[in-house]
Amino acid sequence: MPRTFEDLVAEAESVSVEGWDFSWLDGRASEERPSWGYQRTMGERMAHASAALDIQTGGGEVLAGVPTLPLLTVATESWPPNIAKATKLLRPRGVAVVVDEDEPPLPFADEAFDLVVSRHPVTTWWQEIARVLQHGGTYLSQQVGPASVFELVEYFLGPQPPEVRRKRHPDDARAAAETAGLEVIDLRSESLRTEFFDVGAVIYFLRKVIWMVPGFTVDQYRDRLRQLHDRIQTDGPFVAHTTRFLIEARKPA
């Protein structure tokens, strides 16, 4: 028997959204993964680096999954629950987690790292990345692209203007990297099918990814959530499309 709207809401409101682990959504939502395999690619770069920095590591889950880390590996994070989680996860691997507010400057010396990585950074401070990279060093990042999951965003907020839909475009990332003096050696983007199988999954996602629908609360959007619940019950999963791009840039030798 299908679960009621109230049951799904109560469950999704009560579950913790700390860290950057989305395993609670297993069986309740699905998202295609980019073909390039970011964690695998990052692991390949890490295996050949001597000093690496992971910016905005979240809960440290991605970095912790890398098989071989450089002798010197440092991660930054700003959100207190993530700092605690990342420290617990990464300290046994010899990784120092540095509290950083995600605003320039990075708390590191010039040319401190030959590899800088970042998965889904909120903001990319290109000049700072160029500063802390050694000559010949590389920046590797998987980023959220333009209008990602906007089917869901616009369901709650209505149609978004073109300038909002274009934010985080990979061409802009290329231009910013080059302005900072880096050479872009790889840039790829993909649109990936995402499905939400119940309204609880939507609530959890919007509670966790807080910038999608800023200020989201169940009380504020209860009517739209109930309509969405009815729609999923009748028509099947709510389908959206996640956009991702991979960018790799090198500081000239």
Structure tokens at 169: 């475009």
First CA to last CA distance, the chain: 63
- pLDDT at 52 (0 to 100): 98
Domains and CATH numbers, the chain: 5-250 (3.40.50.150)
Strand order in the sheet with 96-99: 29-31, 183-196, 238-250, 133-144, 113-119, 51-54, 72-77, 96-99
- pLDDT at 106 (0 to 100): 98
Q: Does 9 score more than 80 pLDDT? A: yes
- State the pLDDT confidence band at 19, using cuts at 50, 70 and 90: low
State if pTM tops 0.85. yes
- pLDDT at 21 (0 to 100): 78
Within the chain, strands assigned E span 29-31, 51-54, 72-77, 96-99, 113-119, 133-144, 183-196, 238-250
Q: Give, as one character, the DSSP assignment of residue 23.
A: G
Mean pLDDT of all residues in 89-108: 97
Mean pLDDT of all residues in 237-241: 98
